[in-house]
Structure 1
């Protein structure tokens, strides 16, 4: 069983070592990876087409208020604020009116234009207002997507001659405004669907990678990474409306709302980070604090699911703020721990820190946008880009860390095998020597003398006759020593046997496994050179020596 397990480990080591990670040492792979990453990011961000860049709009401005605004009063309002690139954010205001002045000189063909609003989860009515024959006309923008986040209305000839207004309401309503031709609007939807398909396909491949990695390596960290990928997949799918359009029966189920899945993502992120940073082994205060905030997020998530659409909006905002605070604490704790463990975890820590920095930057921009501190609408494009980069970096970090761990384990296994082989070899030699001594002993008085030779056998260079005694020449460190034993060569030869020692001269014995050089002395006589010692060979023993 032990041999099979070692073979299995060796196969895994070879499999892992065959993986080429995009680190600094792999310049070509890094360049290719970076190029793909930049192209994919550019492809994602190019899906944003604002009203200003299309060239059909001369001016766009917004007026915000805490009370309803009529079209007649709007002309007397002096706090019109320009909208940059079609992005709007009501912030803490309840009502708003957007004024759009079209550029009459560049209007397209008679098929007209389509006014589109992409918004967040504030599902209030958006109404188109315009003057026709001195009469105020109202038209409701209709949903163009199953999640009601995309509203549109066609601008007819009577609406494009004068400024048109969009009446919207809802605190913290954020979104983007587009003026497109019908073909451009259709192409935009197709392009957005294609990008979503590519994104979800890549996340699915990484999810498959995590499952296969767990099957091969049997490490729970890959399952936790798979849980993180699943939460990202569901969160973005719910935010983009794909979850609801694919499974209409889950509409109204609190577990599958974007807010619920967003909290669930941070729960799985804390769960994954706790294992990736090996906080269980260290038992630090920061690790305990991370666990505490994870439990708080679980509690908030359960409360959200239980009280969904039953709680007062004020309580909902408080719970939302608490959840956001806990998410920021989770990011702060993991960032501090990652920086502290950077020296011990090496490049694996760098991978995690880079992924965390990307995610923190995306979260900060999203938070500033939600709080109306920056005048920029952060849609799901930013989340998709940041999550894609994060998933890629974390996958590289996982494989790099496991490759280092397996290489270290491989070295330990090799050292253990060498030590174990030496022990087995020594035990075998001792057993053989004991058997030889037991079977060939002549008298009790000879046993201690033979034992002296056996004790020095692995260091012996040769044995030389000294009258009725024998002189053992053996290696002691960097020098040689001699020891006299009270027995003759014939007794030694008989006691140890031809498997261990062999006669090369009537006055000399050498070990069978001794490394020597055969040197010709005369035409018929030879000598053995054992290290710096010259040992003569008797002619009748030459044939036996040559066999060695």
Structure 2
């Protein structure tokens, strides 16, 4: 066990630059692979070659007129995106060997969550025929059609409709299609199994160690699991009835993903301590995300297209604000010396890069064919990096706790004398990121708690007022009120004013000073009560 600890201690200081290098390399390779796959899809094992071109329209067009048109645009590989156009036609130019192939030839379309009808148009020498594509399962995301045997023309046409409909078109033998489907299923099974394992581990860690960051991370992983499973059609494949339930749509869980991401950021980076402002911002964004989610459920498929797109854009904007806020939070965490914040920053850079790229791709501005597989890759990379981030956080807290215990040795006599729970004190220090070097100063307060009346802020320092032999005395403490509250708050202190802390062990009188202002009175001392803290003071006394 000791050798394992030494191994991690040697490895962890170098893990972040190694991860940065690996991440950048993987991103470059994945983009290159996606781009290359777009241009080389026709090089797969096909009955023969084929070419794809596309034409987009603002209105529905007649196939007879369309077949005579030569103004089709070249398609980048197999990827298409109708963008803002509501209608589109893909011309599939087939060679003679394809038309005369003995094996069944399929045209396969993998599309996003716009479930409009897709038809194949072909000419048999006398008339034009129109046949519908069929879904390979109930999700209707993977569409196939067998190339009819009576096709006479070398060109067949795929009729598409729907704003921002995007996907891939492939021509392949039936046997190759089956092999590809099996391969995709194996990859998905490994990914979802990997994700499920991490969900289980994080729930176990939460139950055993009561760490909220692991519970919020488990929630994030659960939402990611269902989001990708829904987006890829697996949820409706196993439970077809879910196709009519608005909760189980990719858009629904995409909104919930932003909510879960904001929640996890707040817990993992301890934003309540290191940056209350960003913590409050993310809390508001969480509420906005939940509001949008409820509105989406209430208005599912009942709003005009323009209103739907506006809501979609606002949801993306809220997600972008969450991601940018998370980046700033990670930078604050790095500034505060939190090692796990470096890994979180790397994850946020990956997610915001993927989010912006996918948004630009969906809008037709970028021609890179992002897909659910891209999200799977980004998610697997994120899980791997954050797992190391959790390990780094554990070791940093372990080292900090060792230093705290070392400092406590110098004041253990005082702790024993005044029956102070040292374990609660250590937990408070660790949870609120209080510098262990302040322990001697904090001990000054702990040793006078039975006689302590109140503590007053004095710039970045504090002055504690206590009774010494029947006389009100004071002691200077080289520590601010926030550090005092963070380390001792649960044991004995309560904030009653932005500049005052009081001792919860004492008995005060709450007296009205003006119509809206109050004071706490003990002996001859009067402590002002801020209006913001009045309710908490009343609850306690």
Q: TM-score, normalised by structure 1?
A: 0.68
How much does 1:406 deviate? 2.0
Aligned to 1:451: none
Is 1:53 matched with 2:43?
yes
Deviation per residue, 1:464-512 (Å, 9 max, x gap):
xxxxxxxxxxxxxxxxxxxxxxxxxxxxxxxxxxxxxxxxxxxxxxxxx
Is 1:25 matched with 2:17?
no
Taking a change above 3 Å as real, the CA distance of residues 110 and 323 of structure 1, as seen in their structure-2 partners, is same
- Structure 1 runs of 4+ aligned residues shifted over 6 Å read 13-18, 29-38, 44-50, 421-425
Is 1:320 matched with 2:312?
yes
Aligned to 2:175: 183
Whole-Å Cα distance in 2 between the matches of residues 199 and 168 of structure 1?
31
Whole-Å Cα distance in 2 between the matches of residues 117 and 237 of structure 1?
19
Pick aligned residue for 2:56 from 31, 50, 64: 64
How much does 1:412 deviate? 1.2
Pick aligned residue for 2:72 from 60, 71, 80: 80
Aligned to 1:259: 251
Secondary structure at 1:225's aligned position in 2?
helix
Whole-Å Cα distance in 2 between the matches of residues 45 and 145 of structure 1?
26
Is residue 47–residue 192 contact of structure 1 (8 Å, CA) maintained in 2? no
Aligned to 1:302: 294
Whole-Å Cα distance in 1 between the matches of residues 15 and 60 of structure 2?
61
Deviation per residue, 1:431-465 (Å, 9 max, x gap):
xxxxxxxxxxxxxxxxxxxxxxxxxxxxxxxxxxx
Map residues 176-215 of structure 1 onto 2, 5 A cutoff.
176-215=168-207
Secondary structure at 2:128's aligned position in 1?
strand
Is residue 139–residue 243 contact of structure 2 (8 Å, CA) maintained in 1? no
Pick aligned residue for 1:137 from 129, 134, 140: 129
Cα RMSD, aligned residues only: 3.5
Whole-Å Cα distance in 1 between the matches of residues 383 and 248 of structure 2?
22
How much does 1:41 deviate? 7.1
Whole-Å Cα distance in 1 between the matches of residues 258 and 392 of structure 2?
24
Is residue 51–residue 57 contact of structure 1 (8 Å, CA) maintained in 2? no
Stretch of structure 1 that moved more, 343-352 or 98-107: 98-107
How much does 1:414 deviate? 3.6
Whose radius of gyration is greater, 1 or 2?
1
Q: TM-score, normalised by structure 2?
A: 0.69
Whole-Å Cα distance in 1 between the matches of residues 100 and 70 of structure 2?
32
Secondary structure at 1:145's aligned position in 2?
coil
Stretch of structure 1 that moved more, 407-416 or 175-184: 407-416
Is residue 339–residue 396 contact of structure 2 (8 Å, CA) maintained in 1? no
Map residues 86-485 of structure 1 onto 2, 5 A cutoff.
86-105=78-97, 109-159=101-151, 162-417=154-409, 419-420=411-412
How much does 1:279 deviate? 1.7
Deviation per residue, 1:192-222 (Å, 9 max, x gap):
1100000001111111221222234321111
Is residue 263–residue 301 contact of structure 1 (8 Å, CA) maintained in 2? yes
How much does 1:135 deviate? 1.0
How much does 1:310 deviate? 2.8
Map residues 505-544 of structure 1 onto 2, 5 A cutoff.
none
Deviation per residue, 1:282-317 (Å, 9 max, x gap):
454333222222211111111111222333333222
How much does 1:146 deviate? 1.9
Taking a change above 3 Å as real, the CA distance of residues 176 and 356 of structure 1, as seen in their structure-2 partners, is same
Is residue 100–residue 165 contact of structure 1 (8 Å, CA) maintained in 2? yes
How much does 1:342 deviate? 2.2
Taking a change above 3 Å as real, the CA distance of residues 424 and 234 of structure 1, as seen in their structure-2 partners, is closer
Whole-Å Cα distance in 1 between the matches of residues 348 and 104 of structure 2?
46
Structure 2: segments with no counterpart, 5+ residues: 418-541
Whole-Å Cα distance in 1 between the matches of residues 297 and 203 of structure 2?
29
Is residue 87–residue 161 contact of structure 2 (8 Å, CA) maintained in 1? yes
How much does 1:99 deviate? 0.5
Secondary structure at 1:178's aligned position in 2?
strand
Secondary structure at 2:60's aligned position in 1?
coil
Whole-Å Cα distance in 2 between the matches of residues 64 and 26 of structure 1?
49
Whole-Å Cα distance in 1 between the matches of residues 10 and 97 of structure 2?
55
Secondary structure at 1:254's aligned position in 2?
coil
Is residue 17–residue 403 contact of structure 1 (8 Å, CA) maintained in 2? no
Whole-Å Cα distance in 2 between the matches of residues 387 and 89 of structure 1?
24
Whole-Å Cα distance in 2 between the matches of residues 21 and 72 of structure 1?
71
Whole-Å Cα distance in 1 between the matches of residues 192 and 146 of structure 2?
31
Deviation per residue, 1:249-275 (Å, 9 max, x gap):
333222221100010011000011112
